[in-house]
Structure 1
């Protein structure tokens, strides 16, 4: 292994030598430097991503987040400096560059159509920043400015990102959680903080739950859809980059701001609240030191009601639902986010930064459940919409769980500009945890079976049982599970980048190369004693309380009576006093102890070389990235003999693979307002951890003929990574007032998509035993899949309209994606997981004289969640739309009061059993919520 790593480092070294040789042969510039800052002339707000160009040399640069720009190594002479930014009137000025030294030119741009009542502030300014960021980029990307995120009724980073074209989110308890870019599984996207990968707190996969990160500790959220060779290759959907603020972002070098709010949830009547504060200051004799501190805190209590039927199955020619479950959820979610960024800028050409993020998310969940397992015995009196089973079982359960996720990450880095070269170095260390101190569930089952009837005449199916089902003395103790888990990941990243500016003939450009190491160490440790008996009989009536009155009455009054439920505090107290009397289920306990325990060590060595050149109005960027991935895995193989635990044996696995990822992108400034782009890139997607680790659960028992039957569930360390060849084409038209009309096409040819595969073998010898029937379930690579999509985006500020109408603006985007994949044992084509065909966003806003009003709508069509044996057994998440509103008013120069209302249409989260079947599998409701708050900014 050492030889392999050494070889990889030699590859990177040779790339650096090659880049150096090219640099030596390039045209050298004189040692003079032009620097400056681009601002809004009226508000002095810095303009990020503004384009500054020297016409005679065709050299251009973008301003940074502080509005600053630097043009190094300019030959002495007189030049025309052209400055432009979307929504502002372009300007030109003449500058004289000396033989050596530096000069400073600060430029103020006048907003298009600006009047005293309609200024470039608030959401209007944020939207212009995002449009300009897209316009000036050499790649295909979209972004949301932090102020933009603050102007939307979004509670976290995931909800802010759903406004971006081609982005959809999955919902958990009414909140956005995971981000899908162009419908790709969130685990196949790369999520970074200031360009560096974030560790994944969860055990199973690489997804980053962005509901853990409050939007108000960030300065910008970027979605990069066509990656360049200097970015990580594991980015099949795209790269989501969360940008933290810099102390140099503010014009005056000083900033203090804060906010506080309190709200109301319709379903539970609770009042959530949150607060945030930020402070930044530059100091020193030459303002060479900068410090920024930002903190955010929120506490929200949620309520939701859930009705679930599981997959529908055919019975005597009619589809009927699976077991019927009612769930009453109460959740408390507490978020804390802290950013501490420090910078040292002793000279214009040198800076050192130390960026720190700490984020903690605590989710306390209470889940109360009533279950009808009604499909037992004989089916009688069946019609097209009803029937009665002669025997049915039931369960009452009460679960409490605390899950805490934390992300801490620190990056120490620096950037040195010397001559025509830029050298960047950084080291990042991160630690993530998902800690579950307790996950306790008490369950009680009916003591004798009961006849149960079903009715599917309504869209909402229901099951009824005799009156005994409402009697707590009819339920006896079944089981209590007492789980806890700790998942940890340590992340180490070291990166070196070197860029050299040079001329390719008469065309300015650059060459860039670098090395990167990313190391992960991840562990999962689960503890789970399970008790399924007691020395005496225990009945639910001993400690029970009435269930929720009016459960689901807002949807179907009287449909779903909850009945009695366990008194959780009473049973916990009983357990504490009588633990010795409970009987440990060693089989379930051992499965809990070993099945979810694993270790992962993953090292990625990367090297790249790339170049960019401006040829007239065309910018071409291309190169190649090489990545070597080495991984080692540890887990347990758990064996059960006739349902009894036999042993847990440690298992090991490993993998190693290399990837060569070429890419080329072009940006063509067709006219002043029209940009065309094209890109060909190659990316990969690494499998999730639980898919790769060599865990196995093997259970077998004899059948009636004394022949063995068994089931195996296992991971697959031999999984190949997904590989995607990506083609993109886009056309963008920018208006003088800062609007955009854009259309883009994208195509992805994806090899090795991963699906869970279940195979049943007959008369097979498996590990020395003869099986009459053996079912093996594990993740495997399918052959290929394809995505073809269209993105449309329109944003417009109606400054050309008279009077108060000039305060209006609108934004609309729509993404259509057609996807298909070949899945094992299925003749039909299926869409990719989490792939919505249609995703849309629309917003109408009005902003004038300090008052801002915004109405926003988001929509996504249904997507595939689980694959069944045939199309009727597939599980889909139904389409989802949501309407939100926000109003704010500026009180003087420093205060804003705001009001937010979310989910005004009370949109549920809904699952359907079988696409387009209309068969409800799950429906969860949350109600609407509102917030009133105050912001301060100085």
Structure 2
């Protein structure tokens, strides 16, 4: 070992001491845009590939005249004679032209050019990846990054209010995947998990999206399913600017609308300094129509009926996104450069919800004369300029990083320090409830269990005078996560530059907290029923689940927002709503890695190494019991804990080129999934009135996965690819939520108990197939299919349960027509059903139903600079649907309808 360190030290001394002849440059297309993944060869001997921005570098070449050749799929190769200066760095850029037989006629539109860039980068990557370039992103009707990602093989998205939010890669839920921005983790704005909200990031802010399905040691290891790296624009070769303006309609609401403004400006100010500025403003006024059912245990249907509770809901939503990113690049000299990367995303989500909830159905089943309980709740916010009578969810993410790249002799060093913060604030969130305790229900129609219908006698169920005032509620909610990180990497070529040793270290600190507060107001107000309030008919003509679902009269959001809650007889702190959810957590991860990239002949490249990660986490939560005596939050018992563990995670990636067109990638890696912060906190929340108890689990262990990946790619025809992949993952200590309704608490049986626990093992096996090819002269077909099979062991009382989130069948297809002036594309995305949450028994399991989306978009070039476009999304009017136990039992059904927009884009 001492000899090894001495040798390493000697190598550094040699590397830093002697000068050498170097070559660097950039590969661009005829419009000055970078070509990532280009292959550059010196004297038919040494080779490298260009990076995201088209840059390449050779170290320690022989001085004198050398022949440099550059190749790129879909472009004409070039060869140039370059004089390599002695003991200096020579700069040589290359400009490539589209292949006359493959792209020259249509590359001006950008779509085929985008496919080519993605294919070249994917081919040059030494691990299993899928790549999407900004040119491709712009040709889909996708406003946010999540909508773009659902078109990648093996990737699906789970939505929120009709927008793609949480990513599922190869059957692994969002918390088991990582999302990075320029290689560093993005903090999460959600309170109880590690999920990154991908609907928060506009697609216009991103240059390249890279989905890594196998890992190398220089990547963060917390990515069992995979890792998504979002690369922002940087290092322009000259002045570039574009502006996009669009507007459209959201037919789910009569006044529904959408609008989008995007601006991109980039320039190379001089030989040293360049900047890239991206900004967007998006607004949507829309909504959703929703019905929900809670089904009883089939064994209890004879006594209690099939359904325990039923909701009819209307959501009116306004979302505004404001994003800005500024990247600066400064080249000190040929061997040293610095950069600053910044991004800020701010999404405001204003929402009103009108919820009709039918309960006490078991009493009605026993004696129909008792009627059922109907509660009508209006959800909104205070009537000020911030909330505007709506519930406001204010989510923000900002990230700043500063770093550099330096060449010291043969050693390349890069470093980066950064800070980021994500937050979610929901101020002055308000609720009012009115209740009819004995509404006359005549029947429950279960002839179609996907659409059960509750039928009332007459109109008294909708009479505002029959709905007594129950209470007001007001909540303040805040969650934040702050990250700080520093990393450094070294790369040292050896064996005449064909092979590389790379090693480095990273240290990051995360601080997460959630602090909510909830009050109730019940007595002393000058109204007894809804008739004393301002109310309106919330029912909608053409309600998407069906006109048989009637909301009826509700208190208006404006009336709710105008009330002075403190004018009554005082407030009551509703500890049961929030006390158990207050927590804080500090996580520190120290990592180091080493890896070797070794070329075994002309055809095979091996990347082998290992990553070490040590995790320390400290957390604090609360122990709450509804039967306790509390006057304030400070009276609730606080409990703390800590944990630490270390992991060594080896990996091996092998790439073999059978020919210039046929490439195979084989990968083995170890990866990790840390438990959610909140799940580790030793909290306890007991609500005796509902016989419910939820507890944390400080004994949770991180999940560890052994991963095998194989990908075979055959490239042909410039923009064509056939690919086949297979994968297998074996996970120890996987995480699931244990629930039971037979828990005994303080001698009282039949409590509903919930806790996140470790299962013993889980496995995922699957394959994927992809095809993209030109049809005739102007048509492009893209299609992919992924099959996933999963199995878990270690759930108490359950066998043969699939992994939550694992979708068995997924496919995408699109057909595009492209000419010099006109582009049109129809695209389809399908994700099959999947287990979403594990219940206490199979009839309680919650499933995410299959979804099929069809989108259409078209662009016409009015001139070289000006284009007009039109987009239509969700033409199938695909709803979000969950079912309970069996597919026929609808648990939640939510419609968003289709939407469309038209716009202009101008390239300066």
TM-score range for the pair, normalised by the shorter chain length: over 0.9
- Alpha-carbon distance change, 897 to 449 in structure 1, aligned in 2, over 3 angstroms: closer
Unaligned runs of 5+ in 1: 1-10, 382-387, 702-708
Question: Whole-Å Cα distance in 2 between the matches of residues 27 and 121 of structure 1?
Answer: 47
Deviations 1:94-127 (A, max 9, x none): 4443433233433333423157643354111111
Q: Which residue does the alignment assign to 1:484?
A: 476
- Alpha-carbon distance change, 80 to 614 in structure 1, aligned in 2, over 3 angstroms: farther
Alignment of 1:783 onto 2:760: yes
Contact 1:696–1:715, Cα closer than 8 Å, also in 2: yes
Question: Whole-Å Cα distance in 2 between the matches of residues 424 and 911 of structure 1?
Answer: 47
Question: Whole-Å Cα distance in 2 between the matches of residues 479 and 837 of structure 1?
Answer: 46
Pairing of 1:540-559 with structure 2 (within 5 A): 540-557=530-547, 559=548
Question: Whole-Å Cα distance in 1 between the matches of residues 764 and 583 of structure 2?
Answer: 34
Q: Which residue does the alignment assign to 2:709?
A: 728
Alignment of 1:298 onto 2:289: no
Q: Which residue does the alignment assign to 2:653?
A: 665
Pairing of 1:467-616 with structure 2 (within 5 A): 467-503=459-495, 508-534=498-524, 538-557=528-547, 559-573=548-562, 575-576=563-564, 579-582=566-569, 584-586=571-573, 589-616=574-601
- Alpha-carbon distance change, 15 to 226 in structure 1, aligned in 2, over 3 angstroms: farther
Q: Which residue does the alignment assign to 2:203?
A: 215
Deviations 1:743-766 (A, max 9, x none): 00011101111111135677x7x7
TM-score, normalised via structure 1 length: 0.90
Question: Whole-Å Cα distance in 2 between the matches of residues 517 and 657 of structure 1?
Answer: 15
- Alpha-carbon distance change, 19 to 749 in structure 1, aligned in 2, over 3 angstroms: farther
Q: Which residue does the alignment assign to 1:73?
A: 60
Deviations 1:577-621 (A, max 9, x none): x634245344xx223452221111110001111110111210100
> Once the 2 structures are TM-superposed, how far is the Cα of residue 131 of structure 1 from its aligned partner?
1.0
Deviations 1:410-442 (A, max 9, x none): 001000022211011111011221111122111
- Alpha-carbon distance change, 671 to 117 in structure 1, aligned in 2, over 3 angstroms: closer
Quick check: 924-933 or 89-98, which moved more? 89-98
Equivalent of residue 908 in structure 1, options 873, 879, 882: 879
Equivalent of residue 278 in structure 1, options 254, 264, 269: 264
Q: Which residue does the alignment assign to 1:40?
A: 29
Pairing of 1:244-255 with structure 2 (within 5 A): 244-246=232-234, 248-249=235-236, 251=237, 253-255=238-240
> Once the 2 structures are TM-superposed, how far is the Cα of residue 195 of structure 1 from its aligned partner?
0.6
> Once the 2 structures are TM-superposed, how far is the Cα of residue 832 of structure 1 from its aligned partner?
1.4
Q: Which residue does the alignment assign to 2:386?
A: none
Structure 1 consecutive aligned stretches of length 4 or more whose deviation exceeds 6 Å: 13-18, 24-30, 642-646
- Alpha-carbon distance change, 744 to 26 in structure 1, aligned in 2, over 3 angstroms: farther
Q: Which residue does the alignment assign to 1:373?
A: 359
Contact 2:515–2:583, Cα closer than 8 Å, also in 1: yes
Equivalent of residue 355 in structure 1, options 320, 341, 357: 341
Question: Whole-Å Cα distance in 2 between the matches of residues 498 and 793 of structure 1?
Answer: 36
Question: Whole-Å Cα distance in 1 between the matches of residues 400 and 543 of structure 2?
Answer: 49
Question: Whole-Å Cα distance in 1 between the matches of residues 461 and 510 of structure 2?
Answer: 51
- Alpha-carbon distance change, 724 to 738 in structure 1, aligned in 2, over 3 angstroms: same
- Alpha-carbon distance change, 629 to 173 in structure 1, aligned in 2, over 3 angstroms: same
Equivalent of residue 724 in structure 2, options 725, 728, 743: 743
Contact 1:273–1:300, Cα closer than 8 Å, also in 2: yes
Alignment of 1:639 onto 2:625: yes
> Once the 2 structures are TM-superposed, how far is the Cα of residue 283 of structure 1 from its aligned partner?
2.1
Alignment of 1:924 onto 2:908: no
Unaligned runs of 5+ in 2: 381-390
> Once the 2 structures are TM-superposed, how far is the Cα of residue 50 of structure 1 from its aligned partner?
0.8
Contact 1:551–1:562, Cα closer than 8 Å, also in 2: no
SS at match of 2:172: coil
Q: Which residue does the alignment assign to 1:6?
A: none
Question: Whole-Å Cα distance in 1 between the matches of residues 290 and 581 of structure 2?
Answer: 27
Q: Which residue does the alignment assign to 2:297?
A: 313
Question: Whole-Å Cα distance in 1 between the matches of residues 599 and 583 of structure 2?
Answer: 50
Q: Which residue does the alignment assign to 1:873?
A: 844
Question: Whole-Å Cα distance in 2 between the matches of residues 218 and 16 of structure 1?
Answer: 42
> Once the 2 structures are TM-superposed, how far is the Cα of residue 370 of structure 1 from its aligned partner?
1.1
- Alpha-carbon distance change, 759 to 372 in structure 1, aligned in 2, over 3 angstroms: closer
- Alpha-carbon distance change, 22 to 591 in structure 1, aligned in 2, over 3 angstroms: farther
Alignment of 1:267 onto 2:248: no
Deviations 1:339-361 (A, max 9, x none): 01111102222110011111101
- Alpha-carbon distance change, 97 to 830 in structure 1, aligned in 2, over 3 angstroms: same
Pairing of 1:302-451 with structure 2 (within 5 A): 302-314=286-298, 315-316=300-301, 320-377=306-363, 379=365, 390-400=370-380, 401-448=391-438, 450-451=440-441
Question: Whole-Å Cα distance in 2 between the matches of residues 691 and 866 of structure 1?
Answer: 15
- Alpha-carbon distance change, 888 to 712 in structure 1, aligned in 2, over 3 angstroms: same
SS at match of 1:637: strand
Equivalent of residue 793 in structure 2, options 801, 822, 826: 822
SS at match of 2:727: strand
Q: Which residue does the alignment assign to 2:819?
A: 848
SS at match of 1:641: coil
> Once the 2 structures are TM-superposed, how far is the Cα of residue 29 of structure 1 from its aligned partner?
9.1
Quick check: 303-312 or 315-324, which moved more? 315-324
Quick check: 25-34 or 213-222, which moved more? 25-34
Question: Whole-Å Cα distance in 2 between the matches of residues 210 and 675 of structure 1?
Answer: 32
SS at match of 1:322: strand
SS at match of 2:308: coil
- Alpha-carbon distance change, 554 to 640 in structure 1, aligned in 2, over 3 angstroms: closer
Equivalent of residue 857 in structure 1, options 823, 828, 834: 828
Question: Whole-Å Cα distance in 2 between the matches of residues 395 and 473 of structure 1?
Answer: 13
Question: Whole-Å Cα distance in 1 between the matches of residues 644 and 361 of structure 2?
Answer: 48
Pairing of 1:741-780 with structure 2 (within 5 A): 741-759=722-740, 770=747, 776-780=753-757
**CA RMSD of the aligned region, Å?**
2.6
- Alpha-carbon distance change, 375 to 19 in structure 1, aligned in 2, over 3 angstroms: farther
Question: Whole-Å Cα distance in 1 between the matches of residues 671 and 93 of structure 2?
Answer: 40
> Once the 2 structures are TM-superposed, how far is the Cα of residue 163 of structure 1 from its aligned partner?
1.2
SS at match of 1:203: coil
> Once the 2 structures are TM-superposed, how far is the Cα of residue 261 of structure 1 from its aligned partner?
0.7
Deviations 1:887-923 (A, max 9, x none): 01112221111100111111111111224x3222221
Contact 2:311–2:355, Cα closer than 8 Å, also in 1: yes
- Alpha-carbon distance change, 772 to 463 in structure 1, aligned in 2, over 3 angstroms: closer
Quick check: 452-461 or 153-162, which moved more? 452-461
Question: Whole-Å Cα distance in 1 between the matches of residues 294 and 749 of structure 2?
Answer: 29
SS at match of 1:151: coil
- Alpha-carbon distance change, 465 to 313 in structure 1, aligned in 2, over 3 angstroms: farther
Question: Whole-Å Cα distance in 1 between the matches of residues 748 and 841 of structure 2?
Answer: 26
TM-score, normalised via structure 2 length: 0.93
